[in-house]
Structure 1
């Protein structure tokens, strides 16, 4: 059953993405302001297919912590286990801006829409130049009132896998003085990294208490500590 569901979801999501990718041309040419709402619609439809076809119950806790952070500019420090994590924040905050790999902008159909929707492409191999670009993009996003979504692990990881966090988020928080909202998830159990097979079950997105950007040296440790505490809640709620 899981295999059949996975085939149906993957095929349907691919066709939807292709159709909406082609349908985005008028927006790119004539209505650029609609790029983010269009991206939100695509994300909503893909996640609906994931829920309904694959039998996934998405449970989100701690939404009140987004309000506590002001619902304006903020840094959302999320674990990254799955493509799911790159979609869900389109639905949870009003004006998301993802820090993303620079090469994604070169993907046909998708890349130009990511830029128009206000995402933040960073060429990570550029070293110090990349950090300067990241801070410049952070400043622009704050001025536009955006909620910046960053995956401090730097890549998708397996559930339970712990990797050193990249320092970019600490620099961003110190530079802009933004609260940092830690987010833990177990999305990789259901939509694994590069995995064709999707599994049913209870997918958690746990939003933690905002962290103050007062100590740049300690922030990465505080994020990891918050993640571990949030992960403990998955088992308790299940």
Structure 2
């Protein structure tokens, strides 16, 4: 346990230092086209995953890459950890995250979120937030980007009761593109609300896409069942070393 604490502490320090170095040294790209700024985001994400493996001993296995469609699509991912947020930047060609608007206000990090075209949501606005989210998501889809949403809205601890929100079904119905469900067990290795990182191999599993056209209620039932079943299987299969 003592070694895990030391490695976790070292990783967290390295993660923030690397972010500051990369984001500040490459900050002139903020004046360049959006796709160039996205490349910097992918460099940061890849370096973060490398640090996680080398310093904290947490590797990532990605299954089902063949299920990612070409062109624009919607991603509905289980959310247990910050780990999948970083990993999805590297896995999805032109990622567009749906995220809470407070993140856009952060110094430096928020600048990159704004310049890379992420979609912020005011959680307190409800109907207005849903309308705004849909408008900007349609614009991103028209540019052949991929929309990433965490259907439960926030990180959930491993084993917690599922809490899927209506927003993902609304986007699926409005965008009329395939939806790719993603299951994972990352919360075993990078738990929320703690600095500890437990060594082992986290698994992110990309499931077969759901074609557009289902009724919203049927779609929400379908993806929640598939994501939860696959995530529970991964948690049972893989434990931290």
> Does the TM-score normalized on the shorter chain lie above 0.5?
yes
| Counterpart residue number, 2:66 | 64
In the alignment, structure 1 residue 18 sits paired with structure 2 residue 36: no
* Structure 1 residues 149-168: aligned runs within 5 Å: 149-168=148-167
In the alignment, structure 1 residue 220 sits paired with structure 2 residue 234: no
Cα deviation code 1:99-139 (max 9, x no counterpart)? 01111110000101111112111112112110110110111
Residue pair 1:36, 1:118 contacting (<8 A) in 2 also: no
RMSD, matched Cα:
1.6
What is the CA distance between 1:231 and its match in structure 2?
A: 2.5
Aligned with 1:47: secondary structure? helix
In the alignment, structure 1 residue 202 sits paired with structure 2 residue 204: no
Cα distance change on mapping 1:80 and 1:237 into 2, 3 Å: closer
Tell me the TM-score normalized by structure 2.
0.92
Tell me the TM-score normalized by structure 1.
0.93
In the alignment, structure 1 residue 52 sits paired with structure 2 residue 54: yes
Structure-1 separation of matches of 2:192 and 2:50: 19
What is the CA distance between 1:32 and its match in structure 2?
A: 4.8
Residue pair 2:52, 2:59 contacting (<8 A) in 1 also: no
Residue pair 2:58, 2:197 contacting (<8 A) in 1 also: no
Structure-2 separation of matches of 1:147 and 1:172: 12
Aligned with 1:202: secondary structure? strand
What is the CA distance between 1:207 and its match in structure 2?
A: 1.0
| Counterpart residue number, 1:122 | 121
What is the CA distance between 1:164 and its match in structure 2?
A: 2.1
Aligned with 1:72: secondary structure? coil
Cα distance change on mapping 1:104 and 1:237 into 2, 3 Å: closer
Aligned with 1:26: secondary structure? helix
Aligned with 1:84: secondary structure? helix
What is the CA distance between 1:30 and its match in structure 2?
A: 4.8
| Counterpart residue number, 1:43 | 45
Structure-2 separation of matches of 1:210 and 1:103: 31
| Counterpart residue number, 1:105 | 104
In structure 2, stretches of 5+ residues that fail to align are none
Cα deviation code 1:17-44 (max 9, x no counterpart)? 1222322431123565421000010010
| Counterpart residue number, 1:229 | 229
Structure-1 separation of matches of 2:153 and 2:229: 21
Aligned with 1:97: secondary structure? strand
Aligned length: 235
